Structure 1
């Protein structure tokens, strides 16, 4: 797999709708530095609608990615099922608009990998932790939870001596 495999050469396409399918796996995320995704099995359906002065790209993301749990550092599986629209306008001006990109006149292809990656990352929750069981107990790695508890108790017992004189004011 190469990053250029995700380029759509629209110059040779006729006006109308065109379908593309991409299989996303672990290798895809190696193209992006510091990606939080460690494993992936996704299908991206791309529909490009070509019009004389505009391209409309619809991306359907379906599958799973694996990221690190923020609490215990074990792998956690995140399911993704979303649809995103991106409008591509031909313009030599650099104008920032949400969901609209501007590319120079004469451009022959659109590089979709960056947008696929960004939409996948946007579907990952800000905080990734294993869900609690039916009794409300965390399902994270028990060894790591014990270690975290030990470390938090040690931190509670350590007090900065500069605060001792202020504590006397409370009494």
Structure 2
């Protein structure tokens, strides 16, 4: 997949402590990932990166809206996105082996030689995980002409 530089963080030059990044996510962001079950994405992802010695803590705050089809009738619904996700990124000598063995999905390993952190795939996953599981018309519309 073509990684976009705007979603790369050059962490090697960052001082220890908290650093804030903000990303605007719209339908163009999802093009490299193929067709989605929603449209008109208008989301903001705020990323707090807390750099420490040997690891980084990342907190992703998702806020925004999308349009998706009702599970019952297929009508287009506006849906709010809101959630937060945490990732621990550890710098190690053999990241591939450790990533395969790691059972905690919130821990990710990178090589000590890395200088950039690509966050686009995490943003993609977290926006999708922020979509409500049940997408239905409001109670006033259920059973009516629209649903």
Q: Which has the higher contact order (CA 8 A, sep 6+)?
A: 2
More strand by share: 2
**TM-score (ref. length: structure 2):** 0.83
Counterpart mapping for 1:120-159 below 5 A: 120-133=127-140, 137-138=142-143, 141=146
Distance 1:130 1:23, change over 3 A: same
Secondary structure in 2 matching 1:31: helix
CA deviation vs aligned residue, 1:125-171 (integer Å, no higher than 9, x gap):
233221220xx733573xxx6xxxxxxxxxxxxxxxxxxxxxxxxxx
CA distance in 1, matches of 2:4, 2:78: 24
Secondary structure in 1 matching 2:29: helix
Distance 1:102 1:129, change over 3 A: same
Between structure 1 and structure 2, the one with the greater Rg is: 1
CA distance in 1, matches of 2:73, 2:142: 14
Which of 104, 111, 116 is the aligned partner of 1:109? 116
Unaligned runs of 5+ in 1: 146-171
More helix by share: 1
CA distance in 2, matches of 1:138, 1:113: 40
Whether contact under 8 Å (2:62, 2:130) holds in the other structure is no
Secondary structure in 1 matching 2:43: strand
Unaligned runs of 5+ in 2: none
Secondary structure in 1 matching 2:13: coil
CA deviation vs aligned residue, 1:90-121 (integer Å, no higher than 9, x gap):
12133322211111221111111111111111
Aligned residues: 139
Secondary structure in 2 matching 1:50: strand
67-76 or 112-121, which moves further after superposition?
67-76
CA deviation vs aligned residue, 1:59-106 (integer Å, no higher than 9, x gap):
111111122222332321111122211110112133322211111221
**TM-score (ref. length: structure 1):** 0.73
